[in-house]
């Protein structure tokens, strides 16, 4: 029996949700092998509701497969700068959301910076017991449409109940928007001038809110963009031109693209594409707006 994968993209959801993808995978005969998936860094926070067993992960393959692996049914993850290794069970179903870091206060009740320093946080520790109730409702829902509707209602209630939470400083919000418009290109000097702050002051405020410096966020955005470009080319059956793609996506040269791939995936671009080919062909690269 061949492995089966299904990815279903939700429509627009509230609360700074950039994208939401429902997934269902059946991998016969893999119970003992414990294969791993690379969870890659991105410029978005991660929120996962697993509708089967818990999500089991680690900072290294050994940790993910070992006694000190991190397992939770609801995953909340901040910005990170190296891959997470996630065990792939024979059967898995869930919904993964990419959440804008500047929406963390309104949606999660804390700035995104408070999620740094650990791989993932148990969702109920951040969202409370109602998140567990939502997970139960998602499991029982008869369709993806019903699941996304329940999720949207939950997010709306959280936003309405906490409308008085402080918002990120406007300079930080505009700095993030500027970086996003430039897809991670541009200089810190130009960014600081744009928001009328010194480079040091901007970096301090930006990191306190998001958990990353402007330079780190820019690299994440640039990598997220180039990864999506390469994935789309692979999905279309084309052989990606790495040198041309590097230039088009704002990298100084091909070697800088390869450097970022090694940091963020642990392997070269071609090795990552070969490893993820089936996932890409099935549409699994869509989360995060890729």
pLDDT values of the chain reduced to their tens digit, one per residue, 290 residues = 667 889 999 999 999 999 999 999 998 875 566 789 999 999 999 999 999 999 999 999 999 999 999 999 999 999 999 999 999 999 999 999 999 999 999 999 999 999 998 899 999 999 999 999 999 999 999 999 999 999 999 999 999 987 788 899 999 999 999 999 999 998 999 999 999 999 999 999 999 999 999 999 999 999 999 999 998 888 888 888 899 999 999 998 899 999 999 999 999 999 998 888 767 766 666 566 54
Rounded distance, CA 153 to CA 165, Å?
19
Same-domain pairing of 68 and 121: yes
Same-domain pairing of 183 and 279: yes
Same-domain pairing of 126 and 157: yes
Which residues form the domain of 282? 168-290
Of 161, 185, 216, the position where a domain reaches its end is 161
Rounded distance, CA 146 to CA 64, Å?
32
* Dihedral-angle region of residue 117 (phi above 0 means left; psi in -120 to 50 means alpha; beta otherwise): left
177-195 as b/e: b if 16+ CB within 10 A: ebbeebebebeeeebbebb
Same-domain pairing of 94 and 20: yes
What CATH number has the domain bearing residue 221?
Answer: 1.10.10.60
Same-domain pairing of 117 and 188: no
Those residues whose C-beta lies under 8 Å from the C-beta of residue 241, and which sit 6 or more positions away, are none
Same-domain pairing of 138 and 187: no
Of 138, 161, 184, the position where a domain reaches its end is 161
* CB count in 10 Å sphere of residue 161: 11
Of 161, 189, 217, the position where a domain reaches its end is 161
Same-domain pairing of 89 and 108: yes
């Amino acid at each position: 029996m061949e492995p089966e994968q299904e990815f279903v993209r939700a429509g627009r959801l509230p609360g700074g949700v950039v994208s939401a993808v429902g997934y269902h995978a059946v991998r016969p005969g893999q119970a003992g092998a414990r294969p791993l998936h690379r969870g890659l860094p991105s410029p978005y926070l991660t929120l996962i509701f697993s509708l089967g067993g818990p999500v089991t992960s680690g900072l290294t393959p050994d940790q993910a497969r070992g006694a000190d692996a991190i397992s939770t049914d609801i995953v909340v993850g901040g910005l990170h700068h190296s891959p997470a290794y996630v065990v792939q069970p024979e059967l898995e179903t869930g919904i993964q959301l990419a959440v804008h870091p500047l929406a963390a206060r309104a949606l999660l009740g804390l700035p995104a910076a408070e999620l740094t320093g650990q791989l993932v946080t148990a969702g109920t520790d951040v969202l409370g017991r109602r998140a567990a109730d939502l997970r139960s409702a998602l499991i029982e829902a008869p369709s993806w449409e019903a699941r996304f509707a329940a999720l949207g209602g939950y997010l709306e209630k959280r936003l309405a109940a906490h409308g008085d939470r402080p918002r990120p400083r406007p300079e930080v919000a505009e700095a993030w928007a500027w970086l996003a418009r430039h897809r991670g290109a541009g200089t810190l000097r130009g960014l600081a001038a744009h928001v009328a702050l010194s480079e040091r002051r901007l970096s301090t405020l930006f990191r306190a809110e998001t958990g990353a410096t402007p330079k780190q966020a820019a690299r994440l955005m640039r990598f997220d963009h180039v990864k999506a470009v390469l994935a789309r080319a692979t999905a279309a059956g084309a052989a990606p031109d790495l040198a041309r793609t590097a230039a088009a996506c704002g990298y100084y040269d091909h070697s800088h693209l390869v450097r970022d791939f090694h940091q963020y995936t642990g392997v070269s671009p071609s090795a990552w594409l070969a490893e993820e080919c089936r996932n890409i062909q099935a549409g699994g690269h869509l989360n995060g707006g890729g």
